[in-house]
Amino acid sequence: MTLSQATTGRAKRQVKTATLVGVDVYIITEDGIPAFDEYGAFKIEFVSNRGTKVWPGYVSPDLMLVNWYRCRFMATRTVTDAEVDGFLSALTKKWKWSAAQKLWNYGDEAGYSKAY
Amino acid sequence: MEDFIKMGKHVITMLPGEGTGPEICEAVRSVIDHSGVDIVWEYEEIGLDCLKEHGTLLPEKTIKSIAKNKIAIKGPTTTPVGTGHKSANVTLRKMFDLYANVRPVKLIPVLKRPWDKIDILSFRENTEDSYAAIEHMVSDEVAQCLKVITWPGSVRIAEFAFKWARANNRKKIQCVHKANIMKMTDGLFLEAFREVAKKNPDIETGDIIVDNCSMQLVRNPGQFDCLVLPNLYGDILSDLCAGLVGGLGFAPGANIGDNCSIFEAVHGSAPKYAGMKKVNPSAVLLSGVMMLRWLNEKAAADRIQKGFDKVLAEGKHLTYDAGGTASTDEFAAAIVRAMETV
């Protein structure tokens, strides 16, 4: 095989329209499972710890928790990147967070995993 | 029914699973019931077959049964690949925080292998790593998965491994990692192992990089005793270890947490063989033996193990994968007969 053969004709992934639908925010707290206020168009959907959902619903008392929670906030309407900035600014007033990941749908498909 | 359940010494949730799972679990149950142990079985559903009726792979009733009994034995289930529902297995491990996946492999004489000795015990951290279910399409052509390794999660699997190893008279534990590249994540796992090792000076310890470990396992598996691994390496290398001794058909497993345990084979549900009663029930049966030992039912566990060893040594009633023609039920019946003479 030649270099030319190796580098031509590569498959491209079908491009789908990306729609901003929410934000995962990684909160650091020593005070247990965080509970959230309303943040405009961003509504808390679940909180997970080490990938296991710890809110809402049943949490085994045996579950080992660390001080780092993934908190999924879904948009209740169409939102902009600027609104995400505003949401994170509001969140910062109360919570220490390590990272935020915007959630997009690609076409009709969610571009993010659910928690176990 | 409640009174009946209370009569049993142990109440165990039985999860037959799907595909060949139900016929395997019936064979296993028949052997365990002849071992002299007093068990009441609670049958519950799990897996893809539940979707039609319950809309979930893991019905609430099943969860409640496991939560109540705190011990279960499980047949194989099918995990959708790439899309669809999440694995029922992983969900159970997460839900009940079954952090220690214990998988022993030993040479089985009837299966001719090119080695003189294999006796490896792997301890796979079962809840963290890239199994934390944190995945995102961060652009339309880039996917990322967070590899989550925590100090308390790493410490507890290491501590568990040392306790299990000592209780089973094992001599050496090696931590398997890739800390030369993943210095934070695997580095933390290794650091926790070394910290725990300091408190267990009676057991020889060491560490080995996962790629070298893979090569060494294939070239000279007899050199290994116990391995402690993060989730992904443990998933892969424990199957490799099973392959060394003849495949997943003889590979038992236990998923253990601080308050709940689920014992299961790690092979698939083999749906194309469902109903044919030809598959090898050994992996689930040996998982049952592990379960009995966990329940401190040593006599019953020894009885089954000796019967199993005798049937394999005689070689007259082997399933097709071991070179025989016996059905699942005939293999189980032969073990029951052998148990009466050992």
Three-state secondary structure readout of B150-178: CHHHHHHHHHHHHHHHHHCCCCEEEEEEC
Tell whether B208 and B93 lie within a shared domain: no
Q: In the listed set B212, B245, B278, which residue is the last one of a domain according to the structure?
A: B245
Catalytic residue, chosen from B49, B129, B186, B235, is: B235
Chain A nearest-CA distance from B128, in A, is 6
Task: Specify if B147 maps to a domain.
Answer: yes
Tell whether B22 and B67 lie within a shared domain: yes
This complex has an ipTM of: 0.93
Mean pLDDT rounded to a whole number for chain B: 92
* Residue B3 designated active-site: no
B259 Cβ contact list (under 8 Å, min separation 6): A62, B70, B96
Query: Quick one: pLDDT at residue B5?
Result: 45
Tell whether B318 and B342 lie within a shared domain: yes
3 state DSSP class of B122: strand
Task: Specify if B151 maps to a domain.
Answer: yes
Residue B207, pLDDT above cutoff 50: yes
Q: For residue B130, what is the nearest residue in chain A, using CA coordinates?
A: A51
3 state DSSP class of B44: coil
Q: Distance (Å, rounded) from C-alpha B306 to C-alpha B283?
A: 15
Residue A74, pLDDT above cutoff 50: yes
Query: Quick one: pLDDT at residue B85?
Result: 64
Tell whether B86 and B184 lie within a shared domain: no
B174 phi, psi to nearest 5 deg: -120, 135
Q: Which of B68, B99, B137 to mutate to test the interface with A (most CBs of A within 10 A)?
A: B137
Chain B residues within 8 A of A101 when measuring between CB atoms: 136, 138
Concatenated DSSP letters for A56-116?
SS---TT----SEEEEEEEESS---HHHHHHHHHHHHTT-EEEEEEEEEEETTEESBPPP-
Residue A12, pLDDT above cutoff 60: yes
3 state DSSP class of B125: strand
Tokens of B312: 């394999």
Q: Which of B136, B231, B232, B256 to mutate to test the interface with A (most CBs of A within 10 A)?
A: B136
Chain B nearest-CA distance from A69, in A, is 11
Stretch A93-101: mean pLDDT: 97
Catalytic residue, chosen from B43, B61, B183, B211, is: B211
| Lowest model confidence (mean pLDDT) among B30-34, B87-91, B101-105 | B87-91
Tell whether B226 and B123 lie within a shared domain: yes
Quick one: pLDDT band at residue A59, thresholds 50, 70, 90? confident
Chain B residues within 8 A of A24 when measuring between CB atoms: 134, 136
Q: For residue B94, what is the nearest residue in chain A, using CA coordinates?
A: A52
Tell whether B276 and B240 lie within a shared domain: no
More confident of the two residues B79 and A40 = A40
Range of the domain at B77: 1-101+246-342
Show the beta-strand stretches assigned E in chain B.
Answer: 10-15, 39-43, 71-74, 100-106, 119-125, 135-139, 142-145, 172-177, 204-209, 226-229, 254-256, 261-264
Q: In the listed set B195, B227, B245, which residue is the last one of a domain according to the structure?
A: B245
B155 Cβ contact list (under 8 Å, min separation 6): B192, B195, B196
Q: Are strands B172-177 and B204-209 parallel, antiparallel or unpaired?
A: parallel
Q: Which of B57, B63, B97 to mutate to test the interface with A (most CBs of A within 10 A)?
A: B97
Indicate the number of domains in chain A.
Answer: 1
Task: Specify if A8 maps to a domain.
Answer: no
Task: Specify if A116 maps to a domain.
Answer: no
Q: In the listed set B186, B221, B245, which residue is the last one of a domain according to the structure?
A: B245
Mean pLDDT rounded to a whole number for chain A: 94
* Residue B235 designated active-site: yes
Tell whether B236 and B251 lie within a shared domain: no
Chain B residues within 8 A of A115 when measuring between CB atoms: 133
* Minimal Cβ distance to B86: which of A16, A24, A116: A116
Query: Quick one: pLDDT at residue B6?
Result: 46
Query: Quick one: pLDDT at residue B8?
Result: 57
Task: Specify if B331 maps to a domain.
Answer: yes
Residue B1, pLDDT above cutoff 60: no
Tell whether B165 and B43 lie within a shared domain: no
Question: Is B193 touching A (CB cutoff 8 A)?
Answer: no
**Nearest partner of B88 among B269, B248, B317, B330, judged by Cα:** B269
More confident of the two residues B94 and B1 = B94
Task: Specify if A50 maps to a domain.
Answer: yes
Question: Is B230 touching A (CB cutoff 8 A)?
Answer: no
Task: Specify if A96 maps to a domain.
Answer: yes
Indicate the number of domains in chain B.
Answer: 2
Tell whether B232 and B260 lie within a shared domain: no
Task: Specify if A1 maps to a domain.
Answer: no
Task: Specify if B106 maps to a domain.
Answer: no
Tell whether B315 and B198 lie within a shared domain: no
Task: Specify if A4 maps to a domain.
Answer: no
Percent of chain B with pLDDT over 90: 78
Question: Is the torsion defined by CA of B282, B286, B292, B297 positive or negative?
Answer: positive
Contact check, Cβ <8 Å, A50/B156: no
Contact check, Cβ <8 Å, B141/A13: yes
Contact check, Cβ <8 Å, B94/A111: no
- Beta sheet of B100-106, edge-to-edge order: B39-43, B10-15, B71-74, B261-264, B254-256, B100-106, B119-125, B226-229, B172-177, B204-209
Residue B2, pLDDT above cutoff 50: no
Task: Specify if A42 maps to a domain.
Answer: yes
Tell whether B288 and B326 lie within a shared domain: yes
Residue keyed to tokens 């052997």:
B31
Residue keyed to tokens 């901003």:
A20
* Minimal Cβ distance to A115: which of B128, B133, B137: B133
Tokens of B295: 């329940």
* Residue B207 designated active-site: no
CATH for B4 = 3.40.718.10
pLDDT tens, position by position, B171-196? 999 999 999 999 999 999 999 999 99
Catalytic residue, chosen from B131, B186, B233, B278, is: B131
Based on its alpha-carbon atoms, the radius of gyration of chain B, rounded to whole angstroms, reads 20
CATH for A44 = 3.30.70.1570
- Counting every residue, how long is chain A? 116
Q: Distance (Å, rounded) from C-alpha B234 to C-alpha B16?
A: 25
Range of the domain at A73: 15-110
Tell whether B134 and B236 lie within a shared domain: yes
More confident of the two residues B55 and B96 = B96
Task: Specify if B9 maps to a domain.
Answer: yes
* Minimal Cβ distance to B148: which of A18, A50, A63: A50
